[in-house]
Amino acid sequence: MERWQNKVAVVTGASSGIGEAIVKDLVRNGLQVIGLARRLDRMENIKKQLPAQQQRYLTPMKCDISDSEAVNQVFDKIIAQFGGIDIMVNNAGCMKLGQLTTMDAGVIQQVLQTNVMGVIYCTQRAFQSMKERNVAGHVIIINSIAGHGIVSMGNMLPETNIYSPTKFALRAATEIYRQEFKGFGTKVKVTSISPGAVETEIIPDSFRSMIGENILRCEDISSAALYAISTPPNVQIHEMIIKPVGEMF
């Protein structure tokens, strides 16, 4: 991790869960971290909880990544203040329960905008910064086991609707990014991390009763992200699938 000392990392969905864990680990390793989320107050509290000597490494900024204009504004601010971006962690995501055949199309669109377009908006700006400065940056995409298969809940009516399709899209996007990063003549890496059930706010109560104790911690996923970015320049971890022992899916 020495080569990332004082480099700039942007983390979306930084106000809780996996994003919060990644922010803390990156700060602990001496990176300048910009945390993006809609809940600015939550990120400010996270900063206050850090050891005093680490607080200067975290800069919370409010941003709704589903809004392209908001993304452009905040990335303009990041580049003006920090000079560029070296690591992009696309973590923000959402799930709305319901059935694809009957639920409101506007809700479906909201999930698509956050889970897919949010990644695209942020990755475009981050990659542009990496390419212009000719740095060997790294793009991390926090995906899901739901991007590798449709999660079945037995005889229950499926509730995850468009969530799995958005995660399947991110798997395809990861390979497209790999080919494009290479095609543009850069050394930028891309890694998709697909966890099984993680103890976060996104897990519905209906799932928790079935999962039981077979669940990952947010720190487990953060450790995976740190492993991916700590690899030598000639090594790219393209895809990681992480399941808790005993998981049913």
Residue with tokens 């909880």: 49
- The active-site residue, picked from 57, 121, 163, 177, is 163
Q: How many CB atoms lie within 10 A of CB 123?
A: 17
Distance of alpha carbon 135 from alpha carbon 215, whole angstroms: 37
N- to C-terminal Cα separation, the chain? 33
What is the share, in percent, of the chain residues with pLDDT greater than 70?
Answer: 93
pLDDT of res. 34: 98
pLDDT of res. 208: 64
Say yes or no to pLDDT of 15 above 90: yes
pLDDT of res. 156: 74
Per DSSP bridges, beta strands 138-142 and 239-242 are: unpaired
CATH homologous superfamily of domain 2-242?
A: NAD(P)-binding Rossmann-like Domain (3.40.50.720)
Distance of alpha carbon 192 from alpha carbon 4, whole angstroms: 20
Token pair in block for residue 12: 């979306």
Q: What is the pLDDT of residues 100-129, one digit of tens each?
A: 999 999 999 999 999 999 999 999 999 999
Q: What is the pLDDT of residues 190-240, one digit of tens each?
A: 999 999 888 876 666 666 666 667 789 999 999 999 999 999 999 999 999
Helix, strand, or coil (residue 189):
strand
pLDDT of res. 154: 61
Distance of alpha carbon 197 from alpha carbon 28, whole angstroms: 25
pTM over 0.85: yes
pLDDT of res. 162: 95
Residue with tokens 């958005």: 166
Say yes or no to pLDDT of 168 above 90: yes
Distance of alpha carbon 167 from alpha carbon 114, whole angstroms: 11
**Residue whose C-alpha is closest to residue 156's, from 210, 227, 104:** 210
Average pLDDT over residues 175-204: 91
Say yes or no to pLDDT of 83 above 80: yes
Distance of alpha carbon 146 from alpha carbon 197, whole angstroms: 10
Q: What is the pLDDT of residues 23-61, one digit of tens each?
A: 999 999 999 999 999 999 999 999 999 999 999 999 999
**Residue whose C-alpha is closest to residue 227's, from 128, 140, 117:** 140
Is 57 known to be catalytic? no
Helices (H), the chain: 17-28, 40-49, 68-82, 105-112, 118-132, 163-183, 205-211, 218-229
Helix, strand, or coil (residue 136):
coil
- The DSSP letter of residue 88 is E
Enumerate the domain spans of the chain: 2-242
Contacts of 109 (CB under 8 A, 6+ apart): none
Token pair in block for residue 70: 């908001």
